[in-house]
């Protein structure tokens, strides 16, 4: 039932004014050395903890954070990220948080660059961004550092950068897990394909780690004699070309019994080749709980989905910036999110969780 210690209490105990205590607490202004020591001692003695509420109220400043995401109405995955961001913003707006959203074309590095420029132009107090394109992201990092704007990365990491935090998955381990899941019910000597349906301009490090994890898993189980094929395909939005590509793939690998789709586009191959995949009993493991994937999961056409927790990424990302900018707490440099294994039987609860992110966390 002990009362919380206030600045006033410290002041009276140390025989100084609240102003001096304030100066000690914030390292501002001049304080005689002996006085500083005395005050610090009292602070320690009484176990003072700043009242965040009163502090936030008095601080009374707007913090503008720019978010840089792919156009959310095009991509369902990024829409979820944005939902997490909006939820976090809502819970932090009382503390003066102001989110300034920017959007760029998913596949276009130039659009990314141009939008990044605009974001820098408003000189925000912080930036949240998935560094999707290597070169362009590096430009952004340099610009941030030139203006001393802290930034956090979500979803993908970038080498040679020093963000306040990276929030996302452990790519390597997600590859390992993908392999493990694909391995269920996989016959000896089967062929599996690691399929990357994405633009080649995208940041590569992410993918390389994922592949490595995937391959390492099977490499540690040589007895099963699994054959790994790696395929990239850029024109995933062109049904004809995708069809041709997949037809080739299926034809040239008659023993193919599993596909690991490295991103959220698993549904695209089922959209086109549902029948042969079901008939040949090819297992599919993909990522992300977007509606299209969930439908196939529900119909037992996709065996597993790995949830990347996009909403949490956004939520935690913004909170991390807040902690860095306002609470001035230290923030963990790397915040790995769980690798949720989603099957038909537990999918509903993750979907629900996304919808109530604000509730749970606010």
Which residues here bind DNA, judged by CB under 7 A?
A: 3-4, 6-8, 15-20, 22-23, 25-26, 28-33, 35, 48, 50-51, 54-55, 57-61
Least distance from its own copies to the Cβ atom of residue 48, Å = 13
The span from the CA of 150 to the CA of 318, in Å, is 12
User: Residue 154 corresponds to which tokens in the numbers above?
Assistant: 């979500």
Q: From residue 274 to residue 313, what is the string marking binding to its own copies with x (rule CB under 8 A)? A: --------------------------------------x-
Q: Which does 7 bind (CB under 5 to 8 A by kind): DNA, its own copies, none?
A: DNA
Least distance from DNA to the Cβ atom of residue 321, Å = 18
Q: Which does 333 bind (CB under 5 to 8 A by kind): its own copies, DNA, none?
A: none
- Any contact of residue 349 with its own copies (CB under 8 A)? yes
- Any contact of residue 356 with its own copies (CB under 8 A)? yes
What is the bridge-based pairing of β-strands 340-342 and 304-307? antiparallel
The span from the CA of 343 to the CA of 333, in Å, is 31
- Any contact of residue 199 with its own copies (CB under 8 A)? no
Least distance from DNA to the Cβ atom of residue 317, Å = 24
- Any contact of residue 204 with its own copies (CB under 8 A)? no
Of 131, 261, 118, 100, the C-alpha closest to 201 is: 131
Least distance from DNA to the Cβ atom of residue 97, Å = 14
Of 200, 210, 209, the C-alpha closest to 133 is: 200
Q: How many CB atoms lie within 10 A of CB 105?
A: 14
Sequence-ordered strand ranges (E) for 203-291: 227-233, 256-261, 283-287
Least distance from its own copies to the Cβ atom of residue 337, Å = 7
Task: Kindly give the interhelix angle for 266-279 and 239-252, rounded to the nearest 10 degrees.
Answer: 40
# residues contacting its own copies (CB under 8 A): 44
Q: Which does 326 bind (CB under 5 to 8 A by kind): DNA, its own copies, none?
A: none
The DSSP result for 278-345, as a single string, is HHTT-EEEEE---HHHHHHHHTTSS-EEEE--HHHHHHHHHHHHHIIIII-----SEEEPP-EEE-GG
Least distance from its own copies to the Cβ atom of residue 205, Å = 20
Pick between residue 25 and residue 98 the one whose CB is nearest to DNA.
Answer: 25
The span from the CA of 239 to the CA of 13, in Å, is 75
Q: Which of residues 132-161 bind its own copies (CB under 8 A)?
A: none
- DSSP H/E element including 210: helix 205-219
Residue ranges in contact with its own copies by CB under 8 A: 1, 4, 51-54, 56-57, 93-95, 98, 170, 173, 176-177, 180, 184-185, 217, 312, 316, 319, 332, 335-343, 345-346, 348-350, 352-353, 356, 359-361
């Amino acid at each position: 039932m002990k009362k919380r210690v206030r600045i006033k209490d410290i002041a009276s105990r140390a025989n100084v004014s609240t102003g001096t205590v304030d100066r000690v607490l914030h390292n501002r202004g001049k304080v005689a050395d002996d006085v500083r020591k005395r005050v610090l001692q009292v602070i320690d003695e009484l176990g003072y903890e700043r009242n965040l509420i009163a502090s936030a109220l008095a601080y009374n400043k707007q913090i503008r954070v720019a978010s840089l995401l792919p156009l959310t109405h095009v991509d369902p995955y990024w829409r979820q990220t944005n939902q997490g961001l909006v939820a976090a913003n809502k819970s932090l707006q009382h503390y003066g948080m102001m989110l300034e959203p920017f959007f760029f074309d998913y596949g276009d590095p130039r659009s990314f660059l141009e939008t990044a420029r605009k974001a820098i132009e408003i000189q925000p107090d912080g930036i949240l961004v998935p560094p999707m394109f290597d070169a362009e992201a590096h430009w952004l990092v340099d610009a941030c550092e030139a203006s001393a704007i802290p930034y956090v990365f979500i979803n993908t990491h970038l080498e040679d950068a020093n963000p306040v935090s990276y929030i996302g998955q452990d790519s390597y381990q997600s590859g390992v897990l993908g392999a493990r899941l694909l391995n269920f019910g996989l016959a000896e000597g089967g062929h599996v394909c690691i399929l990357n349906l994405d633009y080649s301009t995208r940041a590569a490090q992410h993918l390389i780690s994922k592949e490595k994890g995937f391959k390492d898993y099977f490499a540690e189980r040589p007895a099963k004699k699994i054959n790994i094929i790696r395929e990239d395909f850029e024109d995933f939005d062109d049904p004809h070309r995708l069809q041709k590509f997949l037809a080739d793939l299926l034809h040239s690998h008659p023993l193919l019994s599993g596909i690991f789709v490295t991103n959220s586009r698993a549904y695209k191959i089922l959209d086109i080749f549902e029948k042969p995949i079901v008939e040949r009993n090819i297992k599919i493991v993909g990522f992300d709980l977007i509606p299209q994937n969930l439908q196939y999961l529900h119909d037992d056409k996709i065996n597993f989905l790995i949830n990347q927790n996009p909403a949490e990424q956004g939520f935690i990302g913004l909170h991390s910036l807040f902690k860095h900018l306002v609470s001035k707490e230290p923030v963990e440099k790397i915040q790995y999110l769980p690798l949720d294994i989603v099957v038909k039987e537990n999918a509903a609860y993750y979907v629900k969780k996304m919808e109530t992110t604000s509730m749970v966390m606010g």
